[in-house]
Structure 1
Amino acid sequence: AVFQPAQQSGRALSGSVSRSSPRGHLADPRSANGKEKRPNGQVLMVLSMANNCSATSFDMELCAEKLKSLGVQVAEDQWRRLIQDAVLKPEVRRYMFYNSRAFQIAIAVVFYVSLWTNIYSTVQLCSFGRYWEASVLVTLAAVAVTVVVILVIDCRQRKINVNTDVRLAAVNEIFIKHGLIVGITDALDGPHNILQLWFVHFSPERCLQSLAAHVTDLQRMGESGLQRSLDQLCVVMEAVVRPDLGTEEEALREESPLLSSGVNPNKEPVTCNELLHLVPKGPPEVMAQQLLVIFSGCYVRLLVTGRLPRAVAGGHLEHSGVPCLCQFIKTTALNTHWSWFMGR
C-alpha cells in the first residue's frame, strides 16, 4: 500500500492511481493524535480498487488499521459487511461501470459518430449537400448536440443517486457518530476504471442543530411545502404479497388438481412494488439526522470532485468556499423549486 497526504476539501486528490492492487491514502499524521482539531471536510483516507471483472475488493484490513490510528473505534465486522453490501455486490459494480466516466466518454464518441453519419447521409439527399460547407454544418450540428447530451449527463451526475449514494446511508449512520462520512467516486487510470472510497471528517453537531431548526421552521410555515420536498426522497421496493391465512387456504383448495399427479411445482411468490419514504415524519431532530445520513454519500462525492454549488454565508465548513452539509441539504432536498434526487 502507498500512502500520500490528502488535500483539503473541494478538490480531488492529485496523482495517478495504481491499477494493480487496492491502496489507501492517509491524511497528515499530525492530526491523527486527536490533539489538533480537524476541520470539517478534510479528507482523511481514500481506498482505491479497479472496477473490472476480477473479484477485487477494497483493502479492509488497511482501512481498519488506519481508522484505529485516527481514533475511530468501530467494530470491523459491522462496517465491513455494510460496505460490501453497499458497493461491492456484482450488480452494483456493473451499475457503477455503466455510469462511469470511461463508459460515458465511449458513449459520447459513439453517439457523435452515429449522429454525424446520419445527418450527413440525410444532407446528401439535398442539392446543397455536395458542397464542402454542408460538411462543416453537419460537423457543427453533431458537436452541438453531443455537447448538450454531455451536459445533461453531467447535470444528472450532480444529483443524489439511489443506487450508490443512498446505499451508503447505513455505513454513514455508523461513521457519522465518530466524526466521519463516506462517499464513493470513480476515476480514470488510462483505459481502466478505478473506484475510490473516500473517508471525510465531519462533526455533525452544528449541522444537526441548524437543520433541525430549519425543519421546525418549515413545519411551522406549513406542512405542504416540506412534504412535497420529502416526497421526492423515496425509493421503490419490491415486497412479497402475503395473503390472509384463510384466503390462502381457500385459494390452495381451489387450485388443487382433481387428479393428484404427485408433483408439486414450486410457485414463485407474488410481489408488488411499494413506495418507501427515506425520511418519514417525526420529530425535527430525527428527520434532520436522517437527512444528514442519506445525503452524506452524495455530499462527499460532490465535495471531492469539486461539483458542489457555491457556498453561502454562515456555513460550518471552516475556511472553505463550498457549503457545509446542512446548507447543501437546505438548498437541494428542502427546496421545492429544485429536484436533486435521481431515481433508478
Structure 2
Amino acid sequence: MRLQLLWALADPCNGQVLMVLNMDNNCSTTSFDVELCAEKLKSLGVQVAVDQWRSLLQDAVLKPEVRRYMFYNSRAFQIAMAMIFYMSLWTNIYSTVQLCSFGRYWEASVLVTIAAVAVTVVVILIIGRHQRKINVNTDVRLAAVNEIFIKHSLILGITDVLDGLHNVLQLWFVHFSPERCLQALSARLTPKFSYFQSKLRHSLDQLCVVMETAVQPDPVKVEQDSSEESPLLSTEVNLKKDSMTCNELLCLIPEGPPEVMAQQLLVIFSGCYVRLLVSGLLPRATVVGHMERGKVPCLCQFIETNVLATGHRWFTGG
C-alpha cells in the first residue's frame, strides 16, 4: 500500500486532489492503510473519527466479490480481452474468407485484418463510453463513505491503473465544498410547473438498484401444508424448503424536500464524479460553475446534465 500526499496549501480549490491511496488488487490480503490515512487527514485539518468510516470503506471496496468485480473491469483485463477478441475475430473471418475463391489472394488477409481491427476498435469505444457512466457496483457503494466526508469538504472516488503486471486500485481524496452546488441543485428540484416536476420525477425514478430480499412464508400456512401434504416431514425442513427470495427495486432518490434530495444526489454521484475527474474523462464546461480553476464542470452541473436532463448545455465535446 502506498500513499501520495498531493497538497500542502492552506486553501485548496474545488476539484483539487489532496491524497491518493494505492493498493495492489492482485493480492487478496492487501488493503488500504486506514490508520495512516487517518493521520494524513488530520495533518490536512480533516478531523474525522476512523471508526465512522473504516467499516463503510471496507464494505464498499474491500470485499472479495467487489475486488473481483473491479479486477474483471480493470484496464488490464479489458486489454487482455480485447486482444483475445481480436485474434478470435481475425481467425473466424479469415477461415470464412478461405471458403471463397478470392480468399487465396494476399489482399484477403489485409481486408480481414482491417475488418478485425475496425470491429475491435468499435468494441473498445463502446466499453470506454460505458465507463463514463455511473457504476452501481463501485461508485454507488462509496456513497455511504462520501456522506461522511462531504461534510468535511471531501469526496472520494476509486480508479484502477496498470502498473506493470499489477492491477493497482487508487482511492482519491478530492477537496470539494458542497454548499453552492447544494443550493443550485435545491433550486432546480424546487417544484415550479407540473410538467417540469413530472419529467424530473421520471428522471429520478430511473436511479434504482435491485435489492434481493428474503421472503419468509407464513408459519401457520406452512404448518397446515406440512400436516396435510407431507406429515412425515418436520416443519423446520419445510420452512427451509419453502424459503425464497425476490428482487425489489429500491429508488435511490425518494420523494422528499428539495434540500434532502439534492444532498442525496451529491452523495451518490460524487464517487462517479471523482473517477471521471481524475481520469480526465469529464468534458469541458461552457458555463463557469463552482470550480475555481479549470474548465471542467462542477458536481451540480454534472448531475444536472447527466441525471436531471434539464436541457442546459453545460458541456462541450463528449
TM-score by length of 2: 0.92
Distance in 2, Cα, partners of 1:89 & 1:136: 46
Tell me if the contact between 1:219 and 1:226 (Cα under 8 Å) persists in the aligned partners.
no
Quote the offset at 1:283 in angstroms: 1.0
Picking from 199, 211, 217, the partner of 2:173 is: 199
* Superposed displacement of residue 314, structure 1: 2.9
Q: CA deviation at 1:54?
A: 3.0
Of 198, 206, 219, which aligns to 1:248?
A: 219
CA contact (8 A) 2:226 2:238 kept: no
> Quick one: structure 1 residues 203 and 138, their matched pair in 2 at CA, closer, same or farther if it must change by over 3 Å?
same
Distance in 1, Cα, partners of 2:223 & 2:300: 54
Give deviations 1:210-257, integer Å, cap 9, x for gaps: 1111112666653221122112210000112245xxx43132222244
Aligned partner of 1:50 among 19, 24, 28? 24
| Matching residue of 1:259 | 232
Partner of residue 203 from structure 2, selected from 215, 219, 229: 229
Residues in 1 aligned to 2:226 and 2:305: alpha-carbon distance in whole angstroms:
55
Q: Which residue does the alignment assign to 1:12?
A: none
Distance change (3 Å), C-alpha of 1:227 and 1:253? same
Deviation at 1:183, TM superposition (A): 0.3
Greater shift, 232-241 or 154-163, is seen at 232-241
Contact 2:158-2:170 at 8 Å conserved across structures: yes
Give the deviation of 1:186 after TM superposition: 0.1
1:329-344 alignment, distance < 5 Å: 329-335=303-309
What residue is the counterpart of 2:314 in the other structure?
none
* CA shift in 2, pair 1:263/1:126, >3 Å: same
Query: Structure 1: where are the runs of 5+ without partners?
Result: 1-21, 338-344
For 2:134 and 2:118, locate their aligned partners in 1 and report how far apart those are by CA, in whole Å.
Answer: 27
The aligned amino acid for 2:3 is G
CA deviations over 1:318-340 (Å, ceiling 9, x no partner): 12110000000001011178xxx
Q: Which amino acid aligns with 2:223?
A: L
Distance 1:218 1:201, change over 3 A: farther
Pick the aligned partner of 1:103 from 70, 77, 88. 77
Residue 264 of structure 1: CA displacement? 4.3
For residues 1-344 of structure 1, what are the structure 2 equivalents within 5 Å?
22-29=1-8, 31=9, 36-216=10-190, 221-243=195-217, 247-256=218-227, 257-259=230-232, 264=237, 267=240, 269-335=243-309
Q: For 2:85 and 2:233, locate their aligned partners in 1 and report how far apart those are by CA, in whole Å.
A: 58
Of structures 1 and 2, the one with the larger relative CO (CA 8 A, separation 6+) is 1
**How far off its partner does 1:263 sit?**
8.2
CA-to-partner distance for each residue in 1:250-287, whole Å, 9 max, x for gaps?
A: 32222244236798476163211100000011111111
- 1:28 to partner: Cα distance: 2.8
Which residue identity lines up with residue 27 of structure 1 in the other structure? L
Structure 2: distance between partners of 1:100 and 1:143: 21
Summarize the Cα distance change of 1:214–1:43 in structure 2 as closer, same or farther, 3 Å threshold. Answer: same
Instruction: Give the counterpart letter for 1:25 in structure 2.
Output: Q
Specify the code of the residue in structure 2 equivalent to 1:204.
P
Check whether the contact 1:229–1:336 (CA below 8 A) recurs between aligned residues. Answer: no
8 Å CA contact retained: 2:15, 2:175: yes
RMSD: 1.9
CA–CA distance in structure 2, aligned partners of residues 86 and 267 of structure 1: 30
8 Å CA contact retained: 2:146, 2:271: yes
Give the whole-Å Cα distance in 1 for the aligned partners of 2:192 and 2:97.
56
Which ranges of structure 2 fall in alignment gaps of 5 or more residues? 312-318
Shift of 1:83: 0.4
Aligned-partner SS, 2:96: helix
Structure 1 residues 89 and 123, CA, compared in 2 at 3 Å: closer, same or farther? same
Greater shift in the superposed pair: 308-317 or 80-89 = 308-317
Q: Deviations over 1:1-20 (max 9, x none)?
A: xxxxxxxxxxxxxxxxxxxx
* Cα-to-partner distance string for 1:129-161 (whole Å, 9 max, x where unaligned): 011111000000000000000000000000000
Identical residues among aligned pairs (%): 72
More helix by share: 2
